[in-house]
Amino acid sequence: MDDFTGTRALGMGDAVRGFAIGDSGPMLNPSGMSLIKNFQALEGTYGFSRRLSGHTLHASMVDNTSGFGIAGGLYYTYRASEPGGVTGHGHEGGLALSLPIAGRAAIGGTVKYFNLSGDDAPGGHTGGVTFDVGATINILPILSVGVVGNNLRDLDNSNATQGVGYGIAVVPITDLVIGVDGMTRLTPDNHTGRKGTGFMGGADLTLAGKYGIRAGGGYDPATASGYVAAGLSAVSDVGAVDGSIRQDIVAEGTTPRSTIVALSLRLFIPAPAPPPNIP
């Protein structure tokens, strides 16, 4: 949905389009799923948004264990919202694929289906099928650039915002990712009527392979608000727990300051061992 981008992306201020690995791939730039090999995980998430009094349940699976680098992802998101006492519901499901090109780039796409009702379907725009197309290029071993077109079939609903995202990611060391992104919204927000270009930046640091620290911030054109974000992770060999929060710090006019929180559980699935060589 429009205000849910995944737990780890949320903690980085949503600045992951240049390095959209794992669950961030199907959500923000599908080409990023091919960036890291031998990654397979199930993820379940709960999120809450104060602006829309929205509760979100999200589940996903991303797999990049193919020897050809082809990665795939599946996800489903359900949200119930009640802004101003008016109830809305939304279902979103998607299938994403990505393909590496010459070891320096990747392209990907996500096909999505929305089923929206009540406050989430203003003007009778109840959803339908739309799609994302993205690309990531590794300019240098430590520098990647991503671009993605979101919801290219316009559904006239900001729960499926049509727009263009772009990002730069720097990975100076294996355990540190720094991202700077922009997002140009072409669909007006259902509640504020605003659109335009937002910007965001953030970083994700892993300590001793067991703990993750994220921080970021940016400007959201839909609410005309600046915000800060942070997140933490605890990682083991079999899974991880991730938590993130985003808080508006500046809001124009009568738009209320919003808080978004998310908590997720990840389960790592070992890749199957290759068959033994039998003479």
pTM, two decimal places: 0.89
The answer, yes or no, to whether residue 165 has pLDDT greater than 90, is yes
State the pLDDT confidence band at 268, using cuts at 50, 70 and 90.
Answer: confident
For 7-268, which CATH superfamily applies?
monomeric porin ompg (2.40.160.40)
State the pLDDT confidence band at 271, using cuts at 50, 70 and 90.
Answer: low
Residue pLDDT, tens place only, 32-70: 999 887 667 899 999 998 877 889 999 999 998 887 779
**Residues in a beta bridge with 129:** 113
239, burial (CB in 10 Å: exposed 0-12, middle 13-18, buried 19+)? middle
The answer, yes or no, to whether residue 167 has pLDDT greater than 80, is yes
Report how far residue 262's alpha carbon sits from residue 270's, in angstroms, rounded to the nearest whole number: 26
H/E stretch holding 204 reads strand 196-207
The whole-number pLDDT of residue 252 equals 64
105-118 vs 54-64, strand pairing mode: unpaired
Segment 186-205 shows an average pLDDT of 94
Query: Please, where are the H alpha helices in the chain?
Result: 7-11, 24-28
